[in-house]
Amino acid sequence: MSAALPPIRRVVTGDGPDGKSRVIEDAPAKSIKTVSERPGYRAVNVWRTTEFPCLVTAEDSVGQHKGILPPKGGTILRIIDFPPEPKDPAELKRRLDATFGGIYADAAHDKTYKRHPGMHTTDTVDYCVVLSGRAQLELDSGRLVEVQAGDCVVQNGTRHRWHNPAEEPCVMAVALIGRTRG
């Protein structure tokens, strides 16, 4: 199913030798993560920085990225396709355990959370923008927040999960920014 998802176009700019801005890349993003046990789920890592403040002339390193978290002191921009979730709770748990046990093994995934097997924590500030479809954000307080295309969420390192109760996929852009607890 993920092969049928449209590519994410990545346009990267930079300065040329003459000091004028130019396009240095205009091509489909290549750092794509899927989970065979979760058809239709795709995470496209678009760009990452390895330090903050970031060096604008740094080499592209997004292809070496592993896991959900940005590099320590860095950032990552990711486009995520969330497929509709299966109605069978055991199947949902199997798919989410495969996701968090595979491509997102570095997330603090709470397998014991009773309401939803996707509950997790990342020590990041996440800027989330729903590009299409709709989803629900659940916090461990039990609060459910419905979001749809055009809505933005600032996720401040709290335990949460994303749920797609709709019949169509939800596409979300997420910028994860490494942080420290103060």
170-178 sheet: strands from edge to edge: 31-34, 42-49, 75-82, 170-178, 124-132, 152-156
Between 149 and 123, name the one with better pLDDT: 149
Distance CA 169, CA 41 (A): 9
127: in domain: yes
90 in a structural domain: yes
Reported as a single tens digit per residue, the pLDDT across 87-97 is 999 999 999 99
In a domain, 123, yes or no: yes
Record the tokens describing residue 175, joined without a space: 């910028």
Let me know if residue 10 belongs to a domain.
no
**pTM value > 0.95:** no
Q: Specify the pLDDT at position 91.
A: 95
1 lies in some domain? no
Position 26 scores a pLDDT of: 98
pLDDT digits (tens, 9 = 90+) for 136-170: 999 989 899 999 999 999 999 999 999 999 999 99
Summarised one tens digit per residue, pLDDT across range 30-76 is 999 999 999 999 999 999 999 888 888 888 999 999 999 999 889 99
Q: Across residues 90-111, what is the average pLDDT?
A: 91
Instruction: Give the range among 60-64, 65-69, 111-115, 121-125 with minimum mean pLDDT.
Output: 111-115
CATH of the domain at 84: 2.60.120.10
Parallel, antiparallel, or unpaired: how do β-strands 21-28 and 31-34 relate?
A: unpaired
Q: Is the pLDDT of residue 1 over 50?
A: no
In a domain, 4, yes or no: no
> Would you say residue 83 lies in a domain?
yes
> Could you give the number of structural domains in the chain?
1
User: Residue 119 is part of which domain span?
Assistant: 30-178
Residue 68, classed as helix, strand or coil, is coil
Residue 88 CA, distance from chain mean position: 24
